Homo-oligomer: A and B are copies of this chain.
Amino acid sequence: MFSRVTKNPWPVGEPQLSQDVHPALAAAARAAARAYQEARQLHTRAELREEVADGADGTPTMRVDALVEGAIVEAAEASGVNLLSEEAGFVDHGSAATLVVDPVDGSANAAMGVPLSCFAGALVIDTVPIEALTVWFDTGRAWSAKAGRPTPFRTSGRTRLRGASICMMRPKRGTEEAWTRVASAADRIRILCTTCLETMLVAEGSVDAFADPGSDTHRLMDLIAALVTVPAAGGVLLDLRGRPVEFDLDLTRRWSGIAAATPELADELIATILG
């Protein structure tokens, strides 16, 4: 199929972290960026995309995911915190603190070289997420937030779907009609294939909302950074069907995440998707 075997030649950015990011989160993000950089240098796109295992969450693990998660497992052990990650599952170090991590959000982008993938994680004490960090690999741009404390970046404040710019997951079987309803009602639609980065664009006001239009694709690690960050930026992070998005060691749970600049926009988006 592929006549040309190529590597991605572009560099991964150094994570641009502020001083007050929790050391365990910072160490995990830095380890992830280094591991992704090495993976790009050592492996072709086809190798990074290869499915090498089935993750703890029941979905296939690409080589790029496995390599980056391996580095994060080591970082979490050195930090002395527990880890909950999509491939490794729960790694118990007997701490009250747990890092919940998506090592590579946008795995297909990361493998093929589409420059839209990121590290996303949150620090949970007992069952309460208290801090989050998302780092866009290609640039090192980082968004951090502490639960209940306003962030310097803010959502757009938009309240209506008409005129809005919306990121959505691609239409999947059973969600095509909902997808089309949103695409018709909004001003602009984008599909970037990286939930964690797209929800940060909502948080910083570059797009007005992000939605899974009902495919129940999201696992806890796809949403937990946004769960802390988007509200701290003035927006909301909800499930389409009203299920609470909450810490749980059961990685079979799924949600359809909705991130929006305002509660009003989230309500209209949900009503439009549910028809």
Contact = CB atoms under 8 A, between A and B. Distances in A.
A204 B190 CA distance: 21
A260 to B, nearest CB: 14
A188 B108 contact: yes
A45 B157 CA distance: 12
B193 A188 contact: yes
B153 A190 contact: no
Given A1-B158, A153-B9, A206-B114, A170 B188 contact: yes
A170 B10 CA distance: 27
Interface in A131-168: 138-139, 141, 153-160, 163, 165
A1 B160 contact: yes
A76 interface: no
Interface residues of A, number: 44
Interface string A177-200: 000100100001111110000000
Interface SS majority for chain A: loop
A139 B138 contact: yes
Interface in A106-141: 108, 112-115, 138-139, 141
Contact of A180 (B163, B176, B234): B176
A100 interface: no
Contacts of A108: 165, 188
A234 B114 contact: no
Nearest to A9: B153
Interface string A88-107: 00000000000000000000
A115 B201 CA distance: 9
B113 A204 contact: yes
**Which of the listed residues A4, A9, A10, A171 has the most CB atoms from chain B within 10 Å of its own CB?**
A4
Contacts of A45: 156, 205-206
Contacts of A18: none
